[in-house]
Amino acid sequence: MRWSPGGSSNDVEDRRAEGGSGGMQFGGIHLGIGGMIIVFILSMVFHRNFFALLGGGDTPVASTQQGRGGETAEGRAKDQAEEPTVQFVTFVLNDAQGTWEKLLPSQGVTYRHAKLVLFRNSIDSSCGMAQSATGPFYCPADEKVYIDLGFYDELQRRFGAPGQFAEAYVLAHEIGHHVQKLIGIEEKARQYQEQNPSAAKSISVKLELQADCFAGVWAHSTDERHLLESGDVEQALTAAAAVGDDRLQRMSTGQVNPDSFTHGSSEQRSHWFQQGFNGGTIASCNTFQN
């Protein structure tokens, strides 16, 4: 992707120095106490060592990361190593939000900027504790996207989705959830889920696929402005497929249960990103019609 480093944004909150402590480190993934409990429960339910899956081994290592005012030399070294990625996600954030500022007025909506919170290990959000082990997410309560940049290493190393545009897809997907909130889709979907609990998972899948499609709409915009390079779209499609429910379930348990999907299959996620990329409009992303 063609981009220029050195940009800045008032929408980026760098809170990596506040990273929570008291967790354990597994092969580069920090698990806070909540994350450790979740992984332990999954290990018990599925009779499989999920700690080994996360870290490629069985031995946990105590985290040495400290909070604000006491950042270790290791933390400062990580900050320096992550600086190119910080520059890139700042560019993507600015570009994606600028795109939606132009597109949303056609829906009678004024775009309101989301914030991007960079954290390490764990941090409080209005939607609860943000854990690096749970991956990037959007919190509609505070309109912020939370990302531990270490996730991008996992995306490349463990999930086989390398490249800058794969990273861009992840952030554009989360901004897509912000667009859903501004349009009113997120609220209507949550209300429907509360009224129809049996449909909660299928509605969740439709929301996630639409966010994938909105990421594709942004990618369409970058293509129109000649920012894309050869292989960029393929990187995004690979990343979308890498985080499909079927692939993640197969990696963790060796089995696939479509009834438990919450984000959609690899094929669905790739399809809807491509749909948004081809259509380039909000109208092309009506996952609820299918």
Instruction: Provide the pLDDT confidence category of residue 80 given band limits of 50, 70 and 90.
Output: confident
Is 10 or 28 the better-scoring residue by pLDDT? 10
Q: Phi then psi for 116, rounded to 5 degrees?
A: -110, 120
**Residue 131 confidence (pLDDT) above 60:** yes
Average pLDDT over residues 175-189: 96
Instruction: Provide the pLDDT confidence category of residue 78 given band limits of 50, 70 and 90.
Output: confident
Residues in the chain: 290
Average pLDDT over residues 192-199: 93
Spatial separation of the C-alpha atoms in residues 55 and 203, rounded to whole Å: 32
Range picked from 57-66, 153-162, 218-227 for highest mean pLDDT: 218-227
CB atoms under 10 Å from CB of 45, counted, come to 10
Proportion of the chain above pLDDT 70, given as a percent:
81
User: Which region among 33-42, 198-207, 219-228, 271-280 has the lowest average model confidence (pLDDT)?
Assistant: 33-42
**What is the per-residue pLDDT for 32?**
44
Average pLDDT over residues 244-252: 91
Q: What is the identity of the amino acid at 188?
A: K
Mean pLDDT over the full length of the chain: 84
**What is the per-residue pLDDT for 162?**
87
pLDDT digits (tens, 9 = 90+) for 13-72: 999 988 654 444 444 443 444 454 555 455 544 545 554 454 443 333 333 333 445 567
Question: End-to-end distance of the chain based on CA atoms, in angstroms?
Answer: 32
Residue pair 171/96 in contact (Cβ under 8 Å)? The answer is yes
Proportion of the chain above pLDDT 90, given as a percent:
64
Instruction: Provide the pLDDT confidence category of residue 290 given band limits of 50, 70 and 90.
Output: low
- What residues contact residue 40 under an 8 Å CB cut-off, 6+ apart? 50
Q: What is the identity of the amino acid at 60?
A: P
